[in-house]
Amino acid sequence: MSKILEVKNLNIAFGFKKPFKAVEDVSFNLSKGKTLGIVGESGSGKSVLASSILSLLPQNAKITGDIEFMGKKINGINEKELRKIRGNQIAMVFQDHMSSLNPVMTVGKQIREVVMLHQKLNKIDAKQKAIKMLELVNLPVPKKIYSKYPHELSGGMRQRIMIGMALSCEPQILICDEPTTALDVTIQVQILKLIENLKLKFKISIIFISHDLGVIFEMADEIMVMYAGKIMEFGNVEKIFKNPLHPYTQALFSAILISGQDKKKDHIILKNTLNLERVECGCKFSLRCPYYHEDCKNKSPELKEYSKDHFCACIKI
């Protein structure tokens, strides 16, 4: 399977005196045409990781490691080179569609500007392209929507606009950071279907971040489970859902089963839920792990291949 994005030993820290490690030694590949789902609780580093791919992190972020797009390193490149990638090759859709859109410009013009900037089209052709994108994301009467301001549209419509804008330059990778979290369930389903259809139509690769394991199961081919900036488990989505190996993944999954129908399933209770302090040495999850062992404190477990397309970072595996 051909790799389109390769992340190697990525570390991201904030601050200077006592740097806070938001992402620690993360390595993974994204294959062409595949969707990688990223899950993990709030603060686990999902958005920081996603933003680093497009160099969208603030100045105080210290990054080491490599991010390669089609075999070429893209972290640390200059603004001019970055602009060729950002939007054109890799695009991003955020949860917050209101602050991502300019409130004083019609949505059509905003897409037109993006197309003019990246695709060097003239105004007339760019407008046509913008209307085509509005049509593609299934907005009714695209020509009318073109002249609307963001506040005149619903949350679901605005998110469709964001997706249309992201795809208007035909990127190879779409990064979606909780794209449906702010929407109600029925609209959520429609947007997820739309992303899925566009993925097949444009043959793009997707990085899809969500808190919702059900959504990840529906959308992703591979899943990456993050905890405190590290990968706990990684691999084929069906394999991991069928047989979660890491105690943290098991806890995540047991929590959804409890809230669903299967009440008989044992709910794994995590320890020290209020202890948000990061573990400096050993397994990041050790303080909360129900299967804690002395050794967990000493060794930082490597991501090991348990079976084909199934990796886990726990000394017990």
The contact set with ligand ATP (CB under 6 A) reads 14, 20, 22, 40, 42-48, 58, 60
Nearest CB to ligand ATP, comparing residues 39 and 303: 39
Among 12, 13, 21, 47, binds Mg ion (CB under 5 A): 47
207-to-4, 53, 219 alpha-carbon distances in Å = 12, 11, 10
Q: How far is the CB of 242 from Mg ion (least distance, A)?
A: 27
Q: Which residue's CB is nearer to ligand ATP, number 211 or number 316?
A: 211
The sheet with strand 20-31 has its strands ordered as 20-31, 3-14, 61-69, 72-73
**Contact partner, 40, from Mg ion, ligand ATP, none, Cβ < 5-8 Å per class:** ligand ATP
Closest-CA residue to 107 (of 138, 70, 134, 80): 134
The number of angstroms, rounded, from the C-alpha of 296 to the middle of its chain's C-alpha atoms is 29
* Closer by beta carbon to ligand ATP, 47 or else 89: 47
- Residue closer to Mg ion (CB basis): 26 or 126: 26
* DSSP class per residue in 221-290: SEEEEEETTEEEEEEEHHHHHHS--SHHHHHHHHHHHHHSS-TTSPPPPPS-TT--PPPSSS-TTGGG-T
Q: Which does residue 42 touch among Mg ion, ligand ATP, none (CB within 5 to 8 A, set by kind)? A: ligand ATP
Classify residue 276 by burial, with Cβ atoms within 10 Å: 0-12, 13-18, 19+. Answer: exposed
149's contact among ligand ATP, Mg ion, none, with CB below 5 to 8 A by partner kind, is none
Q: If binding is defined by CB under 5 A, does position 210 make contact with Mg ion?
A: no
The number of residues that bind Mg ion (CB under 5 A) is 2
Question: In terms of CB distance, is 50 or 67 closer to Mg ion?
Answer: 50
CB-CB neighbours of 280 under 10 Å: 8
Enumerate binding residues for Mg ion (CB under 5 A). Answer: 46-47
